[in-house]
Structures are given as structure tokens and as C-alpha cells.
Amino acid sequence: MNAISQSDLAAGELKVVGRLVDASNATLFAEIVLNADSELNPKVIYKPIAGERPLWDFPVSTLANREYAAYLLSNLAGFNLVPNTVLREGPFGKGMVQEWIDVDETVDVITFGQSEDSKLRSMALFDAIINNTDRKYGHLLITEKKSVYGCDHGVTFHEEDKLRTVLWQFSGMQFKSDEQEKLAKSLEVIAQPEFLELLSEAEINAAKIRISRLIKDGKFPYPNPNWPAVPWPPV
């Protein structure tokens, strides 16, 4: 993977190369054209808003905003778990554009995803904060350098508690001091004005309540007995 800056991601020419056919929404494989040698152009994922399928429990045409909001919170609160992401215009209209992550194909993501690796623990906390309703094993990206990223954050920040994840192995564990610090930082970050351009006021208030509850409880949440705990399919 060729690293790409946020400015290049936002301003470089976006050229669609193909499509990820297994995705439920229009998910296009593209590159940012920075020079004449296409082999050096950074690869990205482009999800145009026009290709989003309506969902019964999320407002229409909001998934790209939620993907970017997840990136912003991850970046500003110090999680650094979401690849570089922007909202921008592209060949099929405005959408989410995210840095492509090359994964280590030798890693069994299901086996890794059931471990108590510290990076997974950080991901589990992040998901609880953003109310991720779709953390599948396939949404965990492990690089050859053993960095861990998460992708597909379009169904997050719902007003109701809808956490669905495969990362329940940390349930009930007490938060460490650095995790408490990230929670406090997240509560500060979600109040910043840029989130009002991405989420509704009610969704932001719900996030504040959710984070405050996590701080008060002092431990990882347990599955909601009134809501499916694991996304389907889980991979």
C-alpha cells in the first residue's frame, strides 16, 4: 500500500477501477491519480451515496456521513483504527473515499478475532462508543506489520443501543486507565461542531449518553438481551 495524505485523498483525481461485488451497497475499487504511472497511484475504496440501499432503521443517504464520523472520532480520540477517510465528489457523485489497506492473507481473521489481542480490545471499545451494528470478522483488516484497522462503519451512531459485534470476549472486563482516557476524550470530541454536519443532534446526544454510561460503568458492555448480539453473517 502506498500511504496517502488526507489532502491527496480529498483532492486527487478519483479513477474507478472495479467493484467489490459482495458488498451490499455500491462499493467501488478506485485509485487516486497523482502521477502518470498508475502503478504508483494509491488505491482507495469509493462508496457513492447514490449507491446506498435504503435501510429500515437508518435515515436514507446517511451511511457515508457515518463512515466519515467514525473516522473522525477514531482519529481525534486517539484510537487510530480507521483508515484515512474523506467525503468528496467522485465519478458517481459525492461519497465516502477511504484508503485501501493491504491485508496479511496468512492471518486467520476468525481465529485472531476471537483472541484477546490489545488491538482488538481497542476496537471493541471503539465499537461500543460508535454503537457499531455490524462488526464482522471480515471488517477487521490485519496488515503484515500486524497493525489492525476496521472498515465498513456505515451503520453506526444510531440513537438506540444496537451494538452487534463478534468481539464480545472483553465483556465485563474493567477499563484500563488509557481506555478511560479515550472515553473521556471521545466525550469531548463528539461535542465538536463538525459532527453536527454528519449526524443528527439526537444521534450526537445519544452518543454522549452512551459514552457517559460507559465511563460510569467502568467496564466493557455485555450484549443487549433485546437485540441480536452478533451480525449475520458474522464473517
Beta strand pairing call for 13-19 and 43-48: unpaired
Read off the DSSP letter of residue 191. Answer: T
11 lies in a domain? yes
What pLDDT does 37 receive? 61
Distance, first Cα to last Cα, the chain: 24
Q: What is the pTM of this model?
A: 0.95
Quote the pLDDT of residue 202.
Answer: 98
Residue type, 152: D
Ranges of the chain with pLDDT below 70: 1-2, 36-39
- Asked if residue 24 belongs to a domain, the reply is yes
Q: What is the pLDDT of residue 35?
A: 73
Domain enclosing residue 170, as ranges: 6-217
CATH code: domain of residue 66: 1.10.510
Q: Does a structural domain hold residue 235?
A: no
In a domain, 234, yes or no: no
Q: Across-strand partners of 13?
A: 33
**pLDDT of amino acid 39:** 65
Q: Is residue 114 part of a domain?
A: yes
> Is 229 within the bounds of a domain?
no
What is the reported pLDDT for 77? 98
Structural domains of the chain, count: 1
Distance CA 100, CA 47 (A): 12
Contact 67, 47 (CB under 8 A): yes
